[in-house]
Every structure is written in structure tokens, then in C-alpha cells.
Amino acid sequence: MFDFVSFFPRAVMQGIPLLFGSTGEILTEKSGNLNLGIPGIMYVGGISGVIGSFFYEQATKGSAMNGFLAVMIPILCSLLGSLLMGLLYCFLTVTLRANQNVTGLAMTTFGVGVGNFFGGSLIKLTGSEVPSIALSNTSLFFKVGLPGGNAGWFGQLFLSYGFLAYVAIIIALGASYFLNHTRPGLHLRAVGESASTADAAGINVTKYKYLATCIGSMIAGLGGLYYVMDYANGVWSNNAFGDRGWLAIALVIFTIWRPNVSILASILFGGLYIINIYLPTPGGQMAVKELYKMLPYVITLLVLIVVSLRKKREDQPPAFLGLSYFREER
């Protein structure tokens, strides 16, 4: 029997890292930067938070941890780590005008490498038997949900998540409002649609690209942090983050660049990601489960096909996506 009340919260928790990632990437892409480094940036966001909380836990060994610091230190470390990644990407693609695809892919490889390097180092430091770091104390602070989280099906479905989950939804709604109802949002979309037009209108293209990409990276980085601290109960092990970064990018296309749509879509993707646990395995063939895991990518492809067929201008990627802008080039 399919147990929705137990399935839905797990889908949401799978979806939240994707929501952070896709909101960040949508903001970035609206500035015309195709940041394929998002998987790496989310990875760095995760490990940076782990490093921060690791040292805080070490420092407070034995005594009680301050709840505020236990939360703020990892968050600030995570933001700083992903900000540095965003700055590096901007410097390469905006200032030096390097190819965005190549830079992004390199950033992903680099980010995963950085994460695994520091992850491995920390595991060595703890000298533990298993190849992972457990930050369970910090995790407890991240998992503080809303009151009534255990009360009945309503509480379980809507109130049981750690605070970062609600932050993700607020950020997505905020990003949506920002893009569609504010002047900087209009300017940002203009930069992504036609950088030369924006430039002629007196909009500082470089500033918008830097800001959108860096803020987008920081938002995406929080996805990595949420994954470790909340979803994985504070346990970091190398490569556990998996392909969630790529799913976040697929989600950007799936939502046709709309952060508010992404809230529901990320839960859908999260659900598809784990649905193999809830579906029967025909004939006991475990390999079939791997097929279920393909579902998010398959429906992303379907959305791409449908959107391309409809040819609606509003549903297309920003027109200057992937192009670097240089005023004097004609």
C-alpha cells in the first residue's frame, strides 16, 4: 500500500536541495550566464558548512553548543565557499570572457575535487573507522522544525521540516517576485535577453552579471548545506551528494526559468528520485529500480521537446544565455 504521509515528506526533503540549486541557477541564467558549475558549487557549499561546523564542534567539545552559533557558522562558511566559486566563475567568464560551458564544467570538476579533498582530510582528522564525518549535534539544530511537526498527518506533511526548507521556499518566491515585479529584476532580464540593449539603456551589464551569478551561487550552495545538515543528518561522506547538482540544472529547464514553479517541481523531482523505494520491483529485478531513477531526466527531456515544439517566445531560454558580452565587438 502506497503510504503518502511517509512518502511526501521524504520527497520534499529530496527536493529542497534541488530547489536551492535551481533558484540559484535561474537567477544566474537570467543574467545570461550558463553556470554549469552548479553541481560543484553546491558541493563546495556543503563541504564549507561541514568544515565550519566541524571546528565549532571540536571547539565546544564536552560543553553545550550555542544554538545560534551552531547554525550561523556553517551557514556563513557555506555562503562564503559558494561565493568564492561564483566569483571565480564570473572572473573567468565575464571579465576574461572565457567560454561559459567549458568554465562551468571545469568548476564542477574542481568543486567536487575540493569537496572530496577537504572531506577526506576531515575524516583523517577524526580518525574514525567509517569514511564519514558525523556532525549530529549541529544537525539537530538544523532539523528544528515548526511547532506541531509531529501532530497528525497535517503536521507531518507541512510542518515537520528543518528551517532551511522553509528558507528555500521563501527564497524561491522572493526570486520570482524580484524577477517579475521589480526594476532590478527587469534590468536583470534585459541583460540576459540582450546585453547590448541593456548596455545602451545605461544598465551596468558587468555588475548585474556578477551580482546575479554570485548571489545565485550562494543560494545554490545552501542546497549543499541543507543536504548534509538536514537530509543526511549531519553525516558527510565523499560523493554522497551524487547527481543532485545536475538535477537542479535539469529543474531549471523543466520549470522554464520560473523559481515559483520550481517549488512544486522540486518536490516532484524529489519524489521521482526516491519513488523506486515505494514502487514494487517486478520479478525481484533490482536493476529495474535504476530505471525509475531515470524518470526526472526523462521528463526533463519531454518538457524540452514540448517547449521546443510550441515555440512560445516566453518559454525559451534567455536569448544571450551562454554568450559573453563585449561592448566594442560587432
Partner 1 sequence: MENKCAIKMENITKRFGSVVANNAINMELREGEILSLLGENGSGKTTLMNMLSGIYFPDEGQIYIHDKPVTIASPKDAFDLGIGMIHQHFKLVDLFTATENIILGLEGKLDLNNARKKVQEICDRYGFDIDPDMKIYDMSVSQKQTVEIVKVLYRGADILILDEPTAVLTPQETEKLFAVMRNMKADGKSLIIITHKLHEVLEVSDRVAVLRKGEYIGDVMTKDADQQSLTDMMVGHSVTLNIDRPMPVNVTPRLKLEGLTVFDELGVKRLDNVSFTINAGEVLGVAGVAGSGQRELLESIAGLYPITSGSVTFYPPEGDTPQEMAGKDPMDIRRAGIAMSFVPEDRLGMGLVGSMGMTGNMMLRSWRKGKGVFLNRKDPEALAQRIWQELEVVTPSTNFPVRRMSGGNVQKVLVGREIAQQPSVLMTAYAVRGLDINTSYTIYNLLTEQKMKGVAVVYVGEDLDVLLELCDRIVVLCGGQVSGVVDARTTNKLEVGALMTRVGGGAAENA
State the residues that interact with partner 1 by CB under 8 A.
181-183, 185-187, 189-190, 193-194, 196-198, 200-203, 313-314, 319
266, 19 contact by CB (below 8 A) = yes
CB of 202 to partner 1, least distance (A): 4
CB of 52 to partner 1, least distance (A): 37
Q: Among residues 145 and 185, whose Cβ is nearest to partner 1?
A: 185
Amino acid identity of residue 37, one-letter, is G
Give dist(CA 208, CA 30) in Å, integer: 10
Q: Among residues 61 and 181, whose Cβ is nearest to partner 1?
A: 181
Q: Among residues 180 and 239, whose Cβ is nearest to partner 1?
A: 180
CB of 275 to partner 1, least distance (A): 36
Q: How is residue 204 written as a grid cell?
A: 551596468
Q: How is residue 254 written as a grid cell?
A: 523543466
Q: Among residues 65 and 198, whose Cβ is nearest to partner 1?
A: 198
Burial of 136 (0-12, 13-18, 19+ CB in 10 A): exposed
CB of 69 to partner 1, least distance (A): 38
Burial of 283 (0-12, 13-18, 19+ CB in 10 A): exposed
2 dihedral zone (left: phi>0; alpha: psi -120 to 50; beta): beta
Q: Among residues 231 and 257, whose Cβ is nearest to partner 1?
A: 257
CB of 60 to partner 1, least distance (A): 46
Question: Which residue do the cell numbers 531560454 mark?
Answer: 317
Q: Among residues 204 and 239, whose Cβ is nearest to partner 1?
A: 204
Alpha carbon separation from 21 to 16, 82, 194, 222, 325 (Å, rounded): 9, 11, 25, 8, 25
DSSP β-bridge partners for residue 123: none
CB of 212 to partner 1, least distance (A): 16
